[in-house]
């Protein structure tokens, strides 16, 4: 039976490492500040934003929440982003995705100054990541790398399959895993909806990262014995036995995959805590960079 990778434990360890850095910044008059913008009332987004605020409070970061109605004009959102760009209290700006259909997500992301792009989605950030230059790395992919490193999973020379090619997880995590760095140096295959035989690719993999946004995408028969499985999916499955009326499941069939894999991330309690933690990590790094720019 696979060992569960405890994302909460690893996230707590990373946050502990931030405490001294935050205190050092505060001693010099800088409190790392994160602004989160939420447009609409998507339940998953609301829950996620609330978790981010709690995490900021726990670490002593300054946080602002800006909630806008779903029918808010794109121009109003862009104006808010511009104000946050020049606000010295704010070191990180996160616009929660997805946005309402009448808004251009790429245009909004482009409006965030790269110096405050703690989500790591701006084309400047992505470009620097691809080139191996120092930048803010996307939170979920960077969190996955931290988990693999903490668990002692060797990536150099490993066969890795990424199920999913989203801009948020699939593409960046594939890039980070084949870079000439540690963790990295893996041979990476990206499977997607047009892949003819994803199962055949998966059965060769030492590490499988499933981020397809669909439950039961990965089953036990697709996994090589002893492989490590990182499940990024968070799917709300209707369940009348639960008080909330639903349960959370990942993209992997946890039961069948656990019988074959050596390690697996649970949902919840796996990748999720790492995503929020790496957002805080990037915000602290942004505050440190700002300190250098203003010469305090």
Is 128 catalytic? The answer is: no
Is 104 catalytic? The answer is: no
Dig out the tokens for 283 from the structure.
């915000």
CA 244 to chain centre: 25
Catalytic hit among 96, 116, 206, 263:
96
Strands 263-264, 228-231: pairing kind? parallel
DSSP lists the bridge partners of residue 68 as: 39
Kindly give the residue spans of alpha helices, DSSP state H, lying in the chain: 7-27, 43-59, 74-85, 105-111, 123-131, 139-150, 170-178, 198-202, 254-258, 271-294
Catalytic hit among 52, 116, 146, 171:
52
Catalytic hit among 117, 119, 231, 251:
119
Place of tokens 């913008």: 37
Contacts for 106 with CB less than 8 Å, ≥ 6 apart: none
Residues 190, 171: Cα–Cα separation, whole Å: 8
Residues 177, 144: Cα–Cα separation, whole Å: 10
Closest CA to 34 of 87, 99, 98: 87
Is 255 catalytic? The answer is: no
Expressed in angstroms, the distance from the first to the final Cα of the chain is 53
Contacts for 98 with CB less than 8 Å, ≥ 6 apart: 42, 45, 105
Q: What residues are labeled active site?
A: 52, 96, 119
């Amino acid at each position: 039976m696979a060992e569960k990778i405890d994302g909460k434990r690893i996230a707590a360890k990373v946050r502990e490492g931030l405490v001294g850095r935050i205190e050092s910044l505060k001693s010099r008059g800088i409190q790392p500040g994160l602004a989160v913008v939420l447009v609409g009332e998507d339940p998953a987004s609301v829950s996620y934003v609330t978790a981010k605020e709690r995490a900021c409070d726990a670490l002593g970061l300054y946080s602002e929440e800006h909630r806008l109605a779903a029918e808010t004009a794109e121009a109003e959102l862009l104006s808010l982003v511009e104000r946050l760009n020049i606000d010295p209290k704010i070191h990180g700006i996160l616009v929660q995705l997805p946005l309402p259909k009448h808004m251009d997500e790429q245009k909004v992301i482009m409006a965030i100054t790269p110096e405050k792009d703690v989500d790591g989605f701006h084309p400047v950030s992505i470009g620097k990541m691809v080139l191996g230059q120092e930048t803010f790395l996307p939170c979920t992919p960077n969190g996955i790398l931290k988990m693999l490193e903490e668990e002692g999973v060797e990536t150099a020379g490993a066969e890795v399959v990424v199920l999913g090619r989203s801009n948020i997880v699939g593409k960046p995590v594939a890039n980070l895993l084949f870079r000439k760095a540690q963790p990295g140096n893996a041979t990476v295959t990206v499977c997607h909806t047009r892949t003819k035989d994803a199962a055949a690719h998966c059965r060769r993999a030492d590490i499988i990262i499933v981020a397809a946004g669909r439950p039961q995408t990965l089953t036990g028969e697709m996994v090589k014995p002893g492989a490590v499985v990182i499940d990024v999916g968070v799917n709300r499955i209707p369940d009348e036995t639960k008080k909330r009326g639903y349960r959370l499941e990942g993209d992997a069939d946890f039961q069948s995959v656990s019988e074959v894999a050596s390690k697996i991330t649970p949902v919840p309690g796996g990748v999720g805590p790492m995503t929020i933690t790496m957002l805080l990590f990037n915000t602290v790094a942004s505050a440190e960079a700002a300190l250098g720019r203003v010469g305090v």
